[in-house]
Structure 1
Amino acid sequence: MVQIKEGDQIPSVELFEDSPANKINIADISKNKKIVLFAVPGAFTPGCSKTHLPSYLEKEKDLKSGGVDEIVCVSVNDPFVMSAWGNQFNTKGKIRMLADPNAAFTKAVDLSLDLPPLGGLRSKRYSMVLENGVVKSLNVEPDGTGLSCSLADRIKV
């Protein structure tokens, strides 16, 4: 496996929104759109809940006025957990909360991290801008979990 990089096509992988019945193919939803996708190690975790997700809620209007069609949050959690986390932060209509329960997407982009305290295999913390399914920019936290380069105010659209 090789980590996804700028210029690569996003892989065609199904994620889940709200329930296991609602499959969302990330390659399909990024066709003919500009999407900001950010990933977190875990829903409801301190850094993700106190800083990362709120940074995107704060900048949502700025990103969308800058040409972003959708903002997507991905985490290796089940869809019910992602839905509950989104409800807690009132993300409906602002940020799509997509679950990667088996880490299929996380593995496909080779951005996984083993975090035993959080249950084992999780996603590194990162952000990317996709234009028509192609990675235009990628910001991966150097240690996989920090909060330096993947926050919303670091996104260039």
Structure 2
Amino acid sequence: MAPIAVGDKIPDGTLAHFDEEDKIQQVSIHSLAAGKKVILFGVPGAFTPTCSMQHVPGFIGHAEDLKSKGISEILLISVNDPFVMKAWAKTYPENKHVKFLADGSGTYTHALGLELDLSEKGLGTRSRRFALLVDDLKVKVANIEEGGEFTVSSAEDIIKAL
């Protein structure tokens, strides 16, 4: 399956997260993104070094800049279960704007065409690292990494594109 690209409409899908009352909620990507300008970014795994020390902190640190440029939602997706995503989110107490969404079975990642086979590293099928700028469900920028790289999908790269 070809990866999602500029001009494509993002597929709808259901992801899980914990709400303010600490209950698991299923949420539709379209319900979060329809009629809005959003960033959808994905990482290979929670608690992994590049994801935890660079990619996620970059979006948390630049969230106010992104919001000031018209971004309504900053959505983080990882092929992890909602309990792992909840624990990972707690390691960023300063976070006010990035939503940690679980794609436990990788179904949404597959629909995006952004699967990454990390079986030889013991991680199974995960997500490629990416950052999408989406305006009313249409992809305006698709920064998709190769392998384990982190060269085009940072918050700074998205800011440059705005």
For structure 2, the 5+ residue unaligned runs are none
Deviations 1:83-134 (A, max 9, x none): 1111111265310000000001100011001112252100000000111111
For 1:104, give the aligned amino acid. T
Q: Distance in 1 between matches of 2:148 and 2:23?
A: 27
Question: The residue matched to 2:131 in structure 1 has which SS?
Answer: strand
Is 1:123–2:127 an aligned residue pair?
A: yes
Distance 1:118 1:86, change over 3 A: farther
Equivalent residues of 1:42, 1:118 under 8 A apart: no
Give the Å deviation of 1:28.
Answer: 1.9
Match of 1:84 in 2: 87
Is 1:14–2:14 an aligned residue pair?
A: yes
Match of 1:99 in 2: 102
Query: How many percent identity over aligned positions?
Result: 39
For 2:156, give the aligned amino acid. D
Give the Å deviation of 1:65.
Answer: 0.3
Is 1:149–2:152 an aligned residue pair?
A: yes
Match of 2:74 in 1: 71
Question: The residue matched to 1:139 in structure 2 has which SS?
Answer: strand
For 1:103, give the aligned amino acid. G
Aligned length: 156
Single out whichever of 120-129 and 12-21 deviates more from structure 2.
Answer: 12-21
Q: Distance in 2 between matches of 1:106 and 1:92?
A: 24
TM-score (ref. length: structure 2): 0.91
CA RMSD in angstroms comes to 1.5
TM-score (ref. length: structure 1): 0.94
User: Hey, which bits of structure 1, 4+ residues long, moved more than 4 A?
Assistant: none
Distance 1:89 1:140, change over 3 A: same
Match of 1:137 in 2: 141
Q: Distance in 1 between matches of 2:5 and 2:23?
A: 29
Distance 1:78 1:91, change over 3 A: farther
2:49 to 46, 50, 56: 46
Q: Distance in 1 between matches of 2:157 and 2:122?
A: 26
